[in-house]
Amino acid sequence: MPPLTYANYLDLEKLLTLQKPRSTPAEHDEMLFIIIHQTYELWFKQLLHEFEKIKMDFSAGDLFGAIHSFKRTRTIMKTLVGQIDILETMTPSSFSSFRDRLETASGFQSVQFRELEYLLGYKRPVALAHVKPDFPGADRLQTRVGERTVVDRFYDFLETRGAQIPDDVKNRDVTQPNGPDERVQKEILSLYKQSPECSILFELMTDFDEGLQEWRYRHIKLVERTIGAKKGTGGSPGVPFLKESLFRPIFHDLWAIRREL
Ligand code: HEM
């Protein structure tokens, strides 16, 4: 066995040969386009990893574990938003020079992004419709359809803090998206007021949720300035489709109670 080095621990030889521009002659900006998407996918992988832990923390009532991990996920989210600045240095004409090479490939088909939405609680059928069964990871996404979400596990957490979660909420059909519930909001509200440590967690969850919406907004603006009203390579109407989820929260109940605080 060769001694462990920086390069073989990180498998750099493999990693650094995974950038394969398709344009000939090579368009300078295609490298950036590939690297930025690969970087996003790596961060999506890390987010999925963190949220698996958060799910366990929630069910175990581990408040400080969840606080710690939400701090990390919201910080990753800020990096994901910040990275858009780099891609916005690519002009529309530069993108057009290799866009045809993308054929029908699109972030629309990112299985990990969909997994993230599903794992959090935003299970929308449109996502499955665009992930073909032979895509790598399509089976993982299918498994997530039937799994309890981060929001479902959040209900577990609230119960460990003495909240009353109605049976129909606890036994809901987990293949559907999570939605708001006024009875749950009442319980969260009283914890907000009585338990400062829980309110820290609720604020961090709201930070993450706001970060995801911020990412959606910045992505839409990136799309608008780069391709305008053109349709997406993934076959959606483009910007109008993306606007559908723009202000949609993950943690509905945490947003709904804010007028009462
Ligand atoms: C020039 C840059 C970009 C353009 C023009 C662009 C364009 C689009 C368009 C038009 C869509 C709608 C679906 C379609 O019909 O294709 C879309 C969806 C999506 N894109 Fe991008 N995109 C860009 C960069 C990125 C980057 C850097 C990421 C990072 C991973 C990304 C991730 C996504 C995701 C996850 C979706 C699905 C969003 C949803 O369903 O709400 N895109 N993109």
What does the pLDDT look like over 75-130, one tens digit per residue? 999 999 999 999 999 999 999 998 888 888 888 889 999 999 999 999 998 778 88
* The predicted structure's pLDDT at residue 122: 97
Residue 167 has φ and ψ, to the nearest 5°, of: -60, -40
Cα–ligand 1 centroid distance for 108 (angstroms): 6
Q: Whose CA is nearest to atom 32 of ligand 1?
A: 107
- The whole-number pLDDT of residue 232 equals 80
Percent of the chain with pLDDT over 90: 81
- Among protein residues, the one whose CA lies closest to atom 35 of ligand 1: 107
* Cα–ligand 1 centroid distance for 49 (angstroms): 22
Atom number of ligand 1 nearest to Cα 239: 10
pLDDT of 235 > 80? The answer is: no
- The b-or-e profile of 224-236 (16+ CB within 10 A means b, else e) is eebbeeeebbbeb
pLDDT value for 110: 93
- Average pLDDT estimate for 234-256: 91
Dist. CA 219 → ligand 1 center (Å): 7
Run of H or E including 94: helix 92-99
Using only the alpha carbons of the chain, give its radius of gyration: 20
| Rounded Cα gap, residues 216 and 84, in angstroms | 11
d(CA 128, ligand 1 centre) in Å:
16
What's the whole-number mean pLDDT along residues 241-256?
95
Higher pLDDT, residue 43 or 99: 43
At residue 102, the pLDDT reads 85
pLDDT, residue 225, reads: 92
- Between the CA of 175 and the centroid of ligand 1 the distance, in Å, is 25
Q: Give the dihedral sign, CA 93/20/216/122.
A: positive
Per-residue CA distances from 58 to 53, 138, 154, 205, 236 (Å): 9, 27, 6, 12, 36
Report, as an integer, the average pLDDT of 123-152.
91
Does pTM surpass 0.85?
A: yes
Q: Is the predicted pLDDT of residue 230 greater than 90, yes or no?
A: no
CB count in 10 Å sphere of residue 209: 20
Q: What is the pLDDT of residues 159-198, one digit of tens each?
A: 999 999 999 999 999 999 999 999 999 999 999 999 999 9
- Ligand 1: list residues with CB < 6 Å: 36-37, 40, 87, 95, 106-108, 110, 113, 219, 222-223, 226-227, 232-236, 238, 241-242, 245
Strand ranges for the chain from DSSP E: none
Q: How confident is the model at residue 21 (pLDDT cuts 50, 70, 90)?
A: very high
Residue 25's pLDDT band, with cuts at 50, 70 and 90, is: confident
Tell the residue nearest (CA) to atom 33 of ligand 1.
107
Q: H-type helices in 171-251, by residue range?
A: 182-194, 196-227, 239-243
Go through 160-198 and write b for each residue having 16 or more CB atoms within 10 A of its CB, e for each that does not: ebebebeeeeeebebeebbeebeebbebbbebbeeeeeb
Mutate to test the pocket of ligand 1, among 32, 90, 223 (most ligand atoms within 8 A of CB): 223
d(C-alpha 29, C-alpha 101), whole Å: 13
Q: Round the average pLDDT of the chain to a whole number and report it.
A: 94
Q: Which residues fall within 8 angstroms of residue 107, CB to CB, at 6 or more apart?
A: 37, 113, 234
* Best residue among 86, 93, 219 to mutate for probing ligand 1, ranked by most atoms within 8 Å of CB: 219
The per-residue pLDDT for 234 is 79
DSSP letter (8 states) at residue 238: S
